[in-house]
């Protein structure tokens, strides 16, 4: 079996996780990762024995790496020359510049949510519009919140008779763990409505009317989203719960079992032994699914650092034509990442 050769641009919060996920895919080969500076992530990579080849975005900085005895496999261009597809997790705005190199080399690319939609042929989600991404050159993932939100709404839409509209409230972590650039805060901040997640959902699922409010909170481990969904026919709690429990990337939990909030999921992932405390599934509280007239309301937890990783693997499968359908593509990703109904 010929493996798809994959490179990762940017070895930061997302890039580390993309590299690890590609390495787990039995039908993909991680050629290497590229970065600009000897960050803490790169230093940790070296201390772990350099499991991945490292390529430099700026070869003028090679002496910095050599001084730290960090081995270099080549330039960023060398990496692009060796792959079938690049996973670009560079800072927002850098990916669109990298696209010029990818295009000149005839290499496909997947971009993360920080880039503008115009960078790609398709704004992509593994479950909601997989087939639209098949054999396309450039795909862009949704943001972490949008990725988890669409998983849940798409699940109801496909299994409970269709969804007409949703209203969401996003309680958003202010920064990733270890970040300092946002400052030390003790306040909540509200964005203007509708939030971009609602707009993005409608872009990928145009048959669903969506609106939403976003509140920034001074926490780092995960977002929480409440969703009020109106079905084309009444969606009962029993119908919703049955659908959610069958979804490989939704972890249904109970408050009574100890899942009191975002920190509970992070601690549980660490106790499971998951690398970095990551969890690929969104968490969904069974205790918080309620019927409101003809609507259904529920709450989900979004592990922001890792939730987009499975959908990125789906994107590789779609763009390279490895699997032609959402069923086959997502099933292959789930198998290698050990995502399963719980």
Q: What topology does CATH give the domain 4-142+308-337?
A: Rossmann fold (3.40.50)
How far is it, in rounded angstroms, from Cα 18 to Cα 315?
Answer: 12
Per-residue pLDDT, 313: 98
Point out the catalytic residue in the list 144, 155, 160, 339.
Answer: 144
Within 10 A of 17 (CB to CB), how many other CB atoms are there?
Answer: 22
pTM above 0.85, yes or no: yes
Question: Could you give the residue range(s) of every CATH 3.30.360.10 domain in the chain?
Answer: 144-302
| 196-204 and 144-159 helices, crossing angle to 10° | 50
Q: In what order do the strands lie in the sheet with 54-56?
A: 74-75, 54-56, 28-35, 4-9, 85-88, 108-111, 138-141, 122-124
CATH number of 144-302: 3.30.360.10
Numbered ranges of CATH 3.40.50.720 in the chain:
4-142+308-337
144 given a catalytic annotation = yes
* Local confidence pLDDT in tens for the 342 residues of the chain: 789 999 999 999 999 999 999 999 999 999 999 999 999 999 999 999 999 999 999 999 999 999 999 999 999 999 999 999 999 999 888 999 999 999 999 999 999 988 999 999 999 999 999 999 999 999 999 999 999 999 999 999 999 999 999 999 999 877 667 655 666 567 888 999 999 999 999 999 999 999 999 998 888 788 999 999 999 999 999 999 999 999 999 999 999 999 999 999 999 999 999 999 999 999 999 999 999 999 999 999 999 899 999 999 999 999 999 999 999 999 999 999 999 876
């Amino acid at each position: 079996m010929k493996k798809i050769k994959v490179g990762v641009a940017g070895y930061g919060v997302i890039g580390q996780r993309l590299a690890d996920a590609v390495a787990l895919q039995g039908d993909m080969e991680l050629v290497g990762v590229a970065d600009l500076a000897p960050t803490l992530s790169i230093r940790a990579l070296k201390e772990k024995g350099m499991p991945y080849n490292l390529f430099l975005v700026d070869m003028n900085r090679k002496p910095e790496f050599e001084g730290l005895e960090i081995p270099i496999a080549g330039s960023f261009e060398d990496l692009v020359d060796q792959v079938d597809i690049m996973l670009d997790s560079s800072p927002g705005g850098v990916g669109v510049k990298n696209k010029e190199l990818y295009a000149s080399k005839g290499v496909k690319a997947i971009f993360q949510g920080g880039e503008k939609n115009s960078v790609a042929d398709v704004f992509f989600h593994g479950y909601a519009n997989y087939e639209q991404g098949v054999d396309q050159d450039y795909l862009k993932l949704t943001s972490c919140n949008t990725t988890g939100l669409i998983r849940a709404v798409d699940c109801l839409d496909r299994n409970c008779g269709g969804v007409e509209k949703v209203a969401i409230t996003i309680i958003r972590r202010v920064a990733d763990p270890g970040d300092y650039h946002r400052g030390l805060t003790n306040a909540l901040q509200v964005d203007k409505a509708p939030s971009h997640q609602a707009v993005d959902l409608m872009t990928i699922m145009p048959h669903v009317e969506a609106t939403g409010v976003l509140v920034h909170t001074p926490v780092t481990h995960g977002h929480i989203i409440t969703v009020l969904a109106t079905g084309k026919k009444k969606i009962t709690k029993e119908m919703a719960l049955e659908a959610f429990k069958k979804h490989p990337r939704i972890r249904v939990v109970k408050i009574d079992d100890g899942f009191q909030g975002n920190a509970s999921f992070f601690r549980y992932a660490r106790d499971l032994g998951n690398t970095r405390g990551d969890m690929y599934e969104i968490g969904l509280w069974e205790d918080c699914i309620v019927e409101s007239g003809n609507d259904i309301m529920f709450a989900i937890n979004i592990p922001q650092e890792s939730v987009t990783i499975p959908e990125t693997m789906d994107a590789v499968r779609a763009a390279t034509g490895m699997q032609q359908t959402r069923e086959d593509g997502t099933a292959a990703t789930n198998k290698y990442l050990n995502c399963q109904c719980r």
